[in-house]
Amino acid sequence: MTNLHSDLDTRMTLKPARGGLKVRRAGLGIGAVIASLLLSACAEPEVILPGLRQDVRSVLQNDDSLLAPADIAIPANTTRAIALPKAVNNASWSQSAGTPSTRVANAALRSAPQLAWSSNIGQGDSRKQRITAAPVVSGARVFTIDSSALVTATSTSGAVLWTRDLTPASDGGGDATGGGLAVDGDTLYVSLGFGIVSALDVATGGTRWSQDIEGTGSGAPTVYGDLIYFTSGDDLGWALNKSNGRVQWQTGASTSISNVLGAPAPAISPDIAVMAFGSGEVQGLFRQGGLDRWNTSVVGKRPGRALSNISDVTSGPVISGDTVYVGNQSGRLAALSLAGGERRWVARDGAIGPVWPAGDSVFAISDLNELVRLDANTGQRIWGVPLPNFVKDKPKRQSEVFAHYGPIIAGGRVIIASNDGKLRSFDPTNGALVGSVEIPGGATTAPVVASGTLYVVSSKGQLHAFR
């Protein structure tokens, strides 16, 4: 039978005139087509629903409903007067500026500060480790963390008062990086990338308590009332009792594996704690019990930029009046209602750090490395000033950009510290550069100001004081 079949196949190929089987096959094919047409004729017609067609992913980009059309040209820079708060000679800068009760709106600072002293605080930035904690100031002491876990207290004259290595016994100094600081009364609160939060005596550095947390603690804590608030990893928010470190409540968000080092510090009002996460989620929670009050997100991408795929909130929440400002490094900055989380406006300028609200405006360092001033009521741009961007200008070498930290307002000027080695001051009315001074080693944290002195940490692991 095998040979017979082989012979039949050969004859069908070589002698098509005797291919009755081939003709029958063609007839079967035509019949199948006719049957298919008859069946399709009997099927019910497709119902096309009326209405606007939208991408199914548009619900995830719900910021965009408040955006101006993408083809609208960026408005030209304008000069506009601004009513800044009166300069205050503050004695402390205790924590991140997102919480209005501890934010110094316009700290007193001379118009042309000069380097007064420098002091070593430990290890600087390296390929695997980074300093993420801005200094905090209280009681004539300046507190810092290096790129590992060394906490240092420095006097306001530059003398080292004490140091404390908080690396856990089970870990090595290079196993984690990052952290944050907040000071309240006689206690310094420290969060670390090793996954612990500790309370230290400000005078001696002695440990009062220490709490393990689920995930890295590279973001700065916020102290309000009897609680400490912070985020760990990219998806957990915590509230601890500040006297003993016991967990009071916890909240969670969606997990995101691609994030920027250093979690955003929570912003706190008398009733609401606002927390932001790596997924772009922003939560408003009842401050005492942690119950959800509202939940929203800051999402959206700036076309043509690979970094836009990172959804992390880099512009941590900042509360001003009844508004929360929060943004990302992907081209989105939003103003939300503090009470309900509703969007009041969304700007196409992202922000790589917390914004600074002042008068009728909001100042930010955008995701395109510009210092921008936006209208606080509408989000419209008033002016934008380019900052140094690529480290190397040749197109084929444009792989690294300069980092800029801030802005803050002090002495009536907008101040930015940068890792290109400059501390720059700008006129808030029109963005004009009005001053510049060298930062040895370049900045790696945002500047802070207390008692007429500006403090900033350099990438070399030094605390610099400018007066």
Torsion of CA 385, 386, 388, 390, to 10 degrees: 160
Helix (H, G, I), strand (E, B) or coil at 185: coil
Q: Cβ of 52: how many Cβ atoms within 10 Å?
A: 4
Q: Cβ of 375: how many Cβ atoms within 10 Å?
A: 15
Q: Tell whether 11 is covered by a domain.
A: no
Q: Tell whether 38 is covered by a domain.
A: no
d(CA 320, CA 376) in angstroms, rounded, equals: 10
pTM of the model: 0.84
Q: Tell whether 314 is covered by a domain.
A: yes
Full pLDDT tens readout for the chain, 467 residues: 444 343 334 333 333 444 444 444 444 455 555 555 455 555 566 677 776 554 443 444 444 556 655 556 678 899 999 999 999 999 999 999 999 999 999 999 999 999 999 999 999 999 889 999 999 999 999 999 999 899 999 999 999 999 999 999 888 777 888 899 999 999 999 999 888 999 999 999 999 999 988 777 778 999 999 999 999 877 899 999 999 999 999 998 887 776 777 788 999 999 999 999 888 899 999 999 999 999 998 877 776 565 666 777 888 999 999 999 999 888 889 999 999 999 999 998 888 899 999 999 999 999 899 999 999 999 999 999 999 987 767 666 666 788 999 999 999 999 999 999 999 999 999 999 999 999 999 999 999 999 999 999 999 999 999 99
96 contacts: CB under 8 Å, gap ≥ 6: 134, 180, 182, 220, 222, 265, 316, 354
Amino acid making up residue 169: A
Residue 132: domain span: 90-466
DSSP state at residue 307: G
Q: Tell whether 61 is covered by a domain.
A: no
Task: Could you list the beta-strand ranges (E) of 366-445.
Answer: 370-375, 381-386, 404-410, 413-418, 422-426, 433-438
Question: CATH number for the domain including 219?
Answer: 2.130.10.10
Q: Tell whether 277 is covered by a domain.
A: yes
d(CA 381, CA 390) in angstroms, rounded, equals: 23
Partners of residue 416 on adjacent β-strands: 424
Q: Tell whether 238 is covered by a domain.
A: yes
Q: Tell whether 81 is covered by a domain.
A: no
Beta strands at 361-365 and 370-375: parallel, antiparallel or unpaired: antiparallel
Domains held by the chain: number: 1
Q: Tell whether 95 is covered by a domain.
A: yes
Tell how far CA 137 is from the center of its chain: 23
